[in-house]
Chain A
Amino acid sequence: MSRFFAGESTAQSTGFEAAWEEIRPKSSLGRRVKAKERPRLPGEEAALKEEFHQLLKAVSFYEKYPEAASKLEETLESLKDPFHVITLLEDKKTLTPAELFVVAHLAFSSGKVRAVLRETKDVGWPGEVTPPSLSSIQKRLLPGTSGQPSFYIGDSFSPELEKVRAERKDRERKWREEMAKEALAVEALLSRRPGLREEIAIRKTDSELVRKARLMPELAETRETLTHVHFRLKATREAVRLEREINRLRQKEVSLEEEVLSSLSRELVPNLGDITRAAWALGKLDYLLAKARLYRSWGASVPEILDSSAPQVVLTGAFHPGVRKQVRERGGRYQPISIELDSTVAVITGPNMGGKTVALATIGLCVSLAQWALPVPCEKMSFTLYDFIYFQPQSPGKPGLSSFAAEVVSLKEPLSRSGQKGLVLLDEIGRGTNPSQGLALYAAVLQYFKEEKNGRCTVVATTHFHGLPDLTGVSHWQVTGLCPSCKAPVGNGPDADSSKDGSYGLNWLYDHMDYSLQRVGPDAKTPQDALLVARLLGLDKEIIKRAEKIFLNQNVS
């Protein structure tokens, strides 16, 4: 991916790579267009708005014209990639029949696509996905084709070719008649009529038959093996003459066929512009429809693009498609999130298993998809364009570096780009070192981003460090978490046995966790649910009891 994704794993950790794989154009032309895609950067707001406008048109096409959509998809699926042929034509090369077929097929498919776009013109198809008419090419290469396209150097391409082929076929017929006379004569000897080009093997032990065969003017001896003598029908003088003529006519035919191929190829050269435009238009249409399919399958939306110079992201009902799929597969309920990132730095706190990392990934995914002009997985989104996105995942893991060291090394990139507009997503920085210095470092990083001279980034940071929002004076969001009135199952209850592997407690957590985010004051307490979560996940009861005691003593002292 491009430098738009800062850090080594941003595209993967946000879920962008997986989402990208879900965009599946039907044709190699669509895949070409997809491969050329890149993110839209600040300054390209108007173009991006237009692209989302086009995406909504494609979505409306699927909704309004399902039959036409499946017809169009079928045509796109059958497209042949013509770019190799285009290069050959640019080099003024003569195309083979298979290559001409590819051009003919493109012309045919363009015609079909144009017809569907015409029938559904109220969709308001953008010009760039409408292939130019290649009907003259279609007429030239596919004379008389109505159904599926096919290409053959038929007689209609050259009256001379037609004449030569007819002559050659006539000579071949005469040759067969001539040779059939020979075969008839041999039939009397062998008691069966040999094939005209067949080799006849006679056992040497049948010496009388071999002798007779050798005397027959109709047979020519071809070879002798240990056990057999082999013969073939000998061509008569007339047959030999006909063979020569057939060969001459065949050569002529081949040369005339080459002339047809050459002339057809030459005729295509002036149409190269239209052929290339048609190929790209079909590819763009295919890619646009692939995006629309993803929009529909996710239940996605398109974002509102803000022109404001201050960075801003507002998400309503945002979801992470990969996580939502996993939750649904285990029969759970997925809870979307909403957040307003209207200040430079925001901190998210919440209990363990409260979905903080997923919230970060969701924010990163929505913004990155939006900047690639792709559907966004949320009910509503408004945002400003960024120069880069950085996601510092937990345990970035680098050989030879501790998780803390890897974190520090990785952080250097967004810090060095703080003069640009960046979306910086930090997941529990400093948790791999001693808490007091970890907190200090984290706070310093956030303060750095918050300072006005560096304040071009939107930073979202998750933490368990109590006091980080207060220290940095940034906006504070919190996962709603477990409701205070919910009673967590106790270890000695009927559920104790079933929670040995933690599955009961895990399911309980899934069911009772409120993953929504709410804005709280900077001094709001960081949830202290670690021991509860550990107990729910089936950790030894004795250890939990000890931990609770130690925790209590610490807080009292």
Chain B
Amino acid sequence: MSLAEVVIAKRVRSLAVVGTAKNVGKTVTMNYLAAELSARGLTVGFISSGRDGETIDSFTGEPKPSVVPPEGSWVATAEGVLVDTGASLEIVDVQERPGLLGRLVLGRVIEPSPIELVGPTGAKELKAVAASLLLYGADIVLVDGALDRIAAASPLVTEGLILATGASAHDNPRTIAQETAALAWTWLRPIPPDPKVVELAGEAMKKGRVAFLDRGPSGPHPTYSARVSRYETVLGMEEQVLAEAGNAAYVAIPGAVTSKFLSLASSWPEQKGLAVIARDAASVFSRGDPGVPLYVLHSANLLAITVNPVSYRGISLDPKQLVMSVHRAVLKTVGTDIPVFDVVSGIRSPKGESSLAMG
């Protein structure tokens, strides 16, 4: 199954492609995926969460690869970057609210040419733009994101996620694999199993307050009640929030879940069995298992991981070895078979256990 086939099979209409570091092949992945989807008759839409940093490769001094949307695809980008490429777009909307580098222009690609994507940074705006592109006729919208522009990857914005990683993140395939697996662990956090817990945590999130969910008397069907705290965030308040946890079974956190909070929660002397509920993985500022049960209200749909074996530092890892290492580490850490691709060489991970055997 190719990357496009994986995406099509999951029937997602919006997909974030998030790079774990610079030069990890995010743009190559987007271009490859767009070409594959187009070849299968699907119309692709493109937006970016914010702006993707430098346009010149710091190692080669050459322009970094640009997104080249196929003919007929839909694009949303800032007016300010359309000076060179504006002519190849049929403009259908110029949104009123000015953003980074001017107003957001929506258009259909008349002729494929490199384009810089600059989009809104807020989750709500990104979702609205993606929805507009779908309305205009895109079958699937690809959202260019990065770990420092994570809104794109929130399940509240996009229905699916592809993580792009590679040799630019580290020289050692083992380290790349471990870091990617830790990231995948965070992005694959489940929803709490008890629907009542989900309901109470959801209500607390709406209020924008940290809330503790206390378990009622034990019985065949546990009951929960919410204790809404006065805290709007745990950021800088980690100890104070935990000090009020008492015997809570869960703590629901509306904003950022810091690594300090998770680390303290895992070793808090008066706390045994406290589980943390975040809004979604994009709100969790920690990679890998922190030693405390971690749930999300909106689970992400990690569809695939792509790897780039070539780094700007001159390192070229063996594509097959990298693909297998990453796949094996993710499978071992999260127990889920997430397909791993090197889209340039065409190498992909085998299904399930076979990767372990090969590793």
Are A203 and B91 in contact, with the CB atoms below 8 A?
Answer: no
- Listed from nearest, the 7 A-B pairs whose CB atoms lie closest are A225-B314, A152-B90, A228-B316, A101-B91, A97-B86, A150-B92, A227-B316
CB of B315 within 8 Å of the partner chain: yes
Are A98 and B91 in contact, with the CB atoms below 8 A?
Answer: yes
Q: In whole angstroms, how far apart are the Cα atoms of A153 and B91 in the complex?
A: 10
Are B315 and A227 in contact, with the CB atoms below 8 A?
Answer: yes
What sequence of 0s and 1s flags, for each residue 219-258 of chain A, a beta carbon within 8 Å of any chain B beta carbon? 0000101111000000000000000000000000110010
Given A28-B96, A203-B318, A225-B314: 13 more A-B contacts, CB < 8 Å: A80-B96, A96-B83, A97-B82, A149-B92, A150-B90, A150-B91, A151-B91, A198-B344, A227-B316, A228-B316, A253-B87, A254-B87, A257-B87
Query: Within 8 Å CB of B317, what residues of A?
Result: 227
Query: Within 8 Å CB of A192, what residues of B?
Result: 346
Interface residues of B in 65-116 (CB under 8 A from A): 79, 82-83, 86-87, 89-92, 94, 96, 103, 105, 107-108, 110
CB of A555 within 8 Å of the partner chain: no
Q: In whole angstroms, how far apart are the Cα atoms of A28 and B96 in the complex?
A: 8
Interface residues of A in 78-92 (CB under 8 A from B): 80-81
Interface residues of B in 311-332 (CB under 8 A from A): 314-318
Say whether, besides A225-B314, A226-B314, A152 and B79 are in contact (CB < 8 Å). Answer: no
Interface residues of B in 23-76 (CB under 8 A from A): 60
Are A81 and B96 in contact, with the CB atoms below 8 A?
Answer: yes
Query: Within 8 Å CB of A201, what residues of B?
Result: 310, 316
Q: In whole angstroms, how far apart are the Cα atoms of A163 and B201 in the complex?
A: 63
Query: Within 8 Å CB of B310, what residues of A?
Result: 201, 228
- Choice from A80, A151, A226 contacting B90 with Cβ under 8 Å: A151
CB of A148 within 8 Å of the partner chain: yes
Q: In whole angstroms, how far apart are the Cα atoms of A171 and B60 in the complex?
A: 29
Chain B minimum-CB-distance residue to A226:
B314
Interface residues of A in 139-178 (CB under 8 A from B): 148-153
Chain A minimum-CB-distance residue to B171:
A226
Chain A minimum-CB-distance residue to B344:
A198
The smallest beta-carbon distance between A530 and chain B, in angstroms, is: 37
CB of A102 within 8 Å of the partner chain: yes
- Choice from A80, A225, A227, A257 contacting B94 with Cβ under 8 Å: A80
Are B316 and A203 in contact, with the CB atoms below 8 A?
Answer: yes
Are A96 and B108 in contact, with the CB atoms below 8 A?
Answer: no
Query: Within 8 Å CB of B91, what residues of A?
Result: 97-98, 101, 150-152
Q: Which of A28, A98, A102, A257 has the most CB of B within 10 A?
A: A98
Are A96 and B79 in contact, with the CB atoms below 8 A?
Answer: yes
Band of interface residues on B: 20 to 34
What sequence of 0s and 1s flags, for each residue 82-124 of chain A, a beta carbon within 8 Å of any chain B beta carbon? 0000000000000011100110010000000000000000000
Say whether, besides A80-B94, A150-B108, A201-B310, A225 and B315 are in contact (CB < 8 Å). Answer: yes
Are A98 and B94 in contact, with the CB atoms below 8 A?
Answer: yes
Q: In whole angstroms, how far apart are the Cα atoms of A98 and B105 in the complex?
A: 7
Interface residues of A in 193-233 (CB under 8 A from B): 198, 201, 203, 223, 225-228
Chain B minimum-CB-distance residue to A201:
B316
Q: Which of B82, B83, B107 has the most CB of A within 10 A?
A: B107
Chain B minimum-CB-distance residue to A80:
B94
Query: Within 8 Å CB of B94, what residues of A?
Result: 80, 98, 101-102, 105
Q: In whole angstroms, how far apart are the Cα atoms of A243 and B105 in the complex?
A: 31
Q: In whole angstroms, how far apart are the Cα atoms of A150 and B103 in the complex?
A: 16
- A residues whose Cβ falls under 8 Å from a Cβ of B: 28, 80-81, 96-98, 101-102, 105, 148-153, 192, 198, 201, 203, 223, 225-228, 253-254, 257
Query: Within 8 Å CB of B314, what residues of A?
Result: 225-226
Q: In whole angstroms, how far apart are the Cα atoms of A148 and B310 in the complex?
A: 45
The smallest beta-carbon distance between A260 and chain B, in angstroms, is: 9
Are B89 and A152 in contact, with the CB atoms below 8 A?
Answer: yes
The smallest beta-carbon distance between B214 and chain A, in angstroms, is: 28
Q: In whole angstroms, how far apart are the Cα atoms of A81 and B94 in the complex?
A: 10
A-B contact pairs, 9 of them (CB 8 A): A97-B87, A98-B86, A101-B91, A101-B94, A152-B90, A203-B318, A225-B316, A227-B316, A257-B87
Q: In whole angstroms, how far apart are the Cα atoms of A234 and B87 in the complex?
A: 30
Q: In whole angstroms, how far apart are the Cα atoms of A349 and B107 in the complex?
A: 66
Chain A minimum-CB-distance residue to B90:
A152
Q: In whole angstroms, how far apart are the Cα atoms of A148 and B103 in the complex?
A: 19
Q: In whole angstroms, how far apart are the Cα atoms of A358 and B310 in the complex?
A: 74
The smallest beta-carbon distance between B85 and chain A, in angstroms, is: 10
Chain A minimum-CB-distance residue to B108:
A150
Q: In whole angstroms, how far apart are the Cα atoms of A337 and B133 in the complex?
A: 52
Q: Which of B86, B105, B108, B318 has the most CB of A within 10 A?
A: B86
Query: Within 8 Å CB of A96, what residues of B?
Result: 79, 82-83, 86
- Choice from A98, A105, A227, A253 contacting B103 with Cβ under 8 Å: A98
Q: Which of B60, B94, B110, B346 has the most CB of A within 10 A?
A: B94
Q: In whole angstroms, how far apart are the Cα atoms of A151 and B87 in the complex?
A: 10
Chain B minimum-CB-distance residue to A228:
B316
Query: Within 8 Å CB of A148, what residues of B?
Result: 92
Q: In whole angstroms, how far apart are the Cα atoms of A198 and B28 in the complex?
A: 11
The smallest beta-carbon distance between A102 and chain B, in angstroms, is: 6
Query: Within 8 Å CB of B79, what residues of A?
Result: 96, 98
Q: In whole angstroms, how far apart are the Cα atoms of A148 and B92 in the complex?
A: 8
The smallest beta-carbon distance between B253 and chain A, in angstroms, is: 32
Interface residues of B in 200-247 (CB under 8 A from A): none
Q: In whole angstroms, how far apart are the Cα atoms of A198 and B79 in the complex?
A: 30
Chain B minimum-CB-distance residue to A225:
B314
Are B87 and A153 in contact, with the CB atoms below 8 A?
Answer: yes
Query: Within 8 Å CB of A98, what residues of B?
Result: 79, 82, 86, 91, 94, 103, 105
Chain B minimum-CB-distance residue to A104:
B91
Q: In whole angstroms, how far apart are the Cα atoms of A189 and B344 in the complex?
A: 17
Chain B minimum-CB-distance residue to A199:
B310
Query: Within 8 Å CB of A101, what residues of B?
Result: 91, 94, 105
Chain B minimum-CB-distance residue to A197:
B65
Query: Within 8 Å CB of B96, what residues of A?
Result: 28, 80-81
The smallest beta-carbon distance between B356 and chain A, in angstroms, is: 25
Query: Within 8 Å CB of A198, what residues of B?
Result: 344
Q: In whole angstroms, how far apart are the Cα atoms of A391 and B310 in the complex?
A: 73
Chain A minimum-CB-distance residue to B318:
A203
Query: Within 8 Å CB of B86, what residues of A?
Result: 96-98
Chain B minimum-CB-distance residue to A169:
B111
Chain B minimum-CB-distance residue to A165:
B111
Query: Within 8 Å CB of B315, what residues of A?
Result: 225-227
Chain B minimum-CB-distance residue to A257:
B87
Q: In whole angstroms, how far apart are the Cα atoms of A253 and B84 in the complex?
A: 12
Q: In whole angstroms, how far apart are the Cα atoms of A414 and B107 in the complex?
A: 58
The smallest beta-carbon distance between A475 and chain B, in angstroms, is: 51
Q: In whole angstroms, how far apart are the Cα atoms of A223 and B103 in the complex?
A: 40
Interface residues of B in 167-206 (CB under 8 A from A): none
Q: In whole angstroms, how far apart are the Cα atoms of A254 and B86 in the complex?
A: 11
Interface residues of B in 108-133 (CB under 8 A from A): 108, 110
Q: In whole angstroms, how far apart are the Cα atoms of A97 and B211 in the complex?
A: 51
Q: In whole angstroms, how far apart are the Cα atoms of A203 and B320 in the complex?
A: 13
Chain B minimum-CB-distance residue to A28:
B96
Query: Within 8 Å CB of B60, what residues of A?
Result: 223
